[in-house]
Copies of this chain bind each other. A is one copy, B any other.
């Protein structure tokens, strides 16, 4: 019997949502769900086919990086997830994909400029991109350092205002209060990247959305004055 049945179920649901949403081919990508009270998170095992994945295969790791339940190796990206969960206390889950359009921006080392309300419904500005990693960062604890360059770039940004980032030359990471929210952010980032790419084709010099419209849309969904959805804040 697992001591983390619900947490593993939550992580599993998030992981299998990724290929279903068209965000993932092959075994790229992974999702983790944290239980902060117990100081652990559940994450996908490394290199397992999505079609064969089962909830019980999820690996439970503590915040020091020690495996506390599961026979399989956790995702090789586990240190990045751990770094983000440690740095951003407000989040409960992390998602990593190589979704095509977002990855095209990451490869080009370009932030995704905020051009419309679809973007503003999820992000309070451009989707940021990290600096390139140094040779030393790559040579040592690569995945942990990947987390570090994300944290460095997020410096003065609220992770719930900016629920994702592009790692330079690599691909997007997203997060949220729950791992389900992190999956939603991953879908949004891919969709926003696709639209931005096409808007740039139509208007290569396109200016960003007007601040008042960004502000309006972001606040429709976030914060004390949100009025989107069914909750009664």
A interface residue numbers (CB < 8 A to B): 25-26, 28, 45-48, 72-73, 76, 98, 100-101, 103-110, 115-118, 121, 132-133, 135, 138-139, 142, 169-171, 184, 187-188, 191, 194-203, 206, 209-210, 212-213, 216, 220, 227-230
Give which listed residue, B169, B202, B210, B213, contacts A200 with CB less than 8 A.
B202
Q: A76-B220, A108-B203, A116-B169 are in contact. List 15 more A-B contacts (CB 8 A).
A: A25-B191, A26-B184, A26-B188, A28-B121, A46-B229, A98-B191, A103-B116, A104-B198, A104-B199, A105-B202, A107-B118, A107-B195, A109-B203, A117-B170, A169-B210
Q: Who on chain B is nearest to A183 by CB? A: B26
**In the assembled complex, which residues on chain B have CB atoms less than 8 Å from the CB atom of A209?**
169
Q: Are B103 and A118 in contact (CB under 8 A)?
A: yes
Q: Are A230 and B46 in contact (CB under 8 A)?
A: yes
A46 to B231, CA, bound (A): 10
What are 20 A-B contacts defined by CB distance under 8 Å?
A25-B188, A26-B184, A47-B230, A98-B118, A98-B191, A100-B191, A106-B116, A107-B116, A108-B206, A115-B169, A116-B170, A116-B171, A117-B171, A135-B212, A138-B213, A138-B216, A139-B212, A169-B209, A169-B213, A200-B202
